[in-house]
């Protein structure tokens, strides 16, 4: 792919995705695979809620979700049950950061749409563990993506994240799904501009060329892989109480 889009991790084409999905569906284990990874994706951008609904109702998502739904409803997955199941966008999918066979271990991804000025990022000024901020650029079938509104939202969210201490900043990814070349150039240019600031943020890029469920879920699996591998930018300084002191104190920078 020519131009700036070459920086993005590109997923398979539509024809390859169709074959991949058929293979994945036939390899779903009959018994419940253990959920060994639980992450939360904060989805930013126009249509984030519709995207979360689309992803969690795909054929492969439904195949895994049915086996895990009772554990979520009963709180056995170790997370809060303050929200009803219908209010949460949960995706169970095989982990791609494991060497075991397909579907041997599952990741539980909670998709949380953050839409408009009324929703603030649920981040703390401490280490935000297992959280990934996803800047979503999604072109639904039969709809038109408004990139001007998208860039304004992204700029505001980037400023919000930059305000956090370095050690509290979660991993960031620009996810482009079914976007044309012009739309990709707009959002990629925006992300490139922030690199010129004093403290640029590191933003990975994922590109799914179609809305096929295999492309989209594969992209989310790769973002999940990056979430697990993420190491925060944390620096500790040791200050001694006095020259004869046996201990000291550490501070998060």
- State pLDDT tens for residues 230-252: 988 665 433 444 444 444 433 34
Q: Give the residue carrying structure tokens 């900043």.
A: 169
**CA 110 – CA 52 distance, rounded (Å):** 9
pLDDT in the model for residue 33: 79
- State pLDDT tens for residues 24-50: 544 444 557 788 999 999 999 989 999
Average pLDDT over residues 100-120: 82
Q: Check which CATH number belongs to the domain holding 27 and give it.
A: 3.40.50
Residue 169 has pLDDT above 60, yes or no: yes
Burial class of 200 by CB neighbour count within 10 A (0 to 12, 13 to 18, 19+): middle
pLDDT in the model for residue 119: 81
Average pLDDT over residues 197-223: 92
pLDDT in the model for residue 12: 57
Q: What region, left, alpha or beta, does residue 116 occupy, with left being phi > 0 and alpha being psi -120 to 50 degrees?
A: left
Instruction: Encode 105-126: b = buried (16+ Cβ within 10 Å), e = exposed.
Output: bbbbbbbbbbeeeeeebebeee
Total number of domains in the chain: 1
Which residues constitute the domain of residue 191?
3-252
> Residue 88 — very low, low, confident or very high, per pLDDT cuts 50/70/90?
confident
Average pLDDT over residues 184-199: 87
Average pLDDT over residues 77-100: 67
pLDDT in the model for residue 171: 96
Give the number of other Cβ atoms within 10 Å of residue 237's Cβ.
10
Model confidence, pTM: 0.77
pLDDT in the model for residue 102: 58
Residue 160 has pLDDT above 80, yes or no: yes
194's tokens: 């922030």
Query: CB within 8 A of 231, min separation 6: which ones?
Result: none
Q: 166 versus 85: which is more confidently predicted?
A: 166
State the helix-helix crossing angle for 213-229 and 59-73, rounded to 10 degrees. Answer: 50
């Amino acid at each position: 792919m020519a131009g700036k889009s070459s920086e993005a991790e590109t997923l398979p084409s539509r024809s390859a995705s169709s074959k991949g999905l058929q293979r994945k569906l036939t390899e779903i284990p009959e018994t419940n695979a253990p959920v060994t990874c639980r992450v939360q994706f904060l989805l930013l951008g126009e249509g984030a809620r519709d995207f979360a609904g689309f992803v969690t109702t795909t054929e492969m998502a439904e195949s895994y979700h049915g086996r895990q739904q009772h554990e979520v409803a009963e709180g056995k997955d170790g997370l809060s049950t303050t929200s009803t199941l219908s209010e949460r966008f949960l995706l169970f999918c095989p982990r791609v950061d494991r060497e075991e066979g397909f579907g041997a271990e599952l990741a539980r991804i909670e998709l949380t749409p953050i839409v408009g000025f009324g929703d603030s990022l649920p981040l703390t000024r401490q280490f935000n563990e297992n959280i990934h901020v996803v800047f979503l650029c999604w072109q639904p079938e039969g709809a038109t993506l408004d990139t001007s509104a998208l860039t304004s939202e992204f700029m505001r969210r980037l400023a919000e994240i930059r305000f956090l201490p370095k050690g509290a900043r979660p991993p960031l990814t620009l996810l482009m799904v079914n976007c044309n070349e012009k739309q990709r150039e707009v959002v990629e240019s925006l992300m490139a501009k922030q690199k010129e600031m004093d403290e640029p943020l590191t933003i990975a890029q994922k590109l799914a060329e179609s809305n096929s469920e295999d492309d989209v879920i594969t992209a989310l699996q790769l973002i999940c892989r990056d979430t697990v591998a993420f190491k925060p930018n944390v620096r500790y300084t040791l200050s001694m109480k006095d020259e004869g002191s046996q201990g000291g104190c550490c501070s998060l920078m």
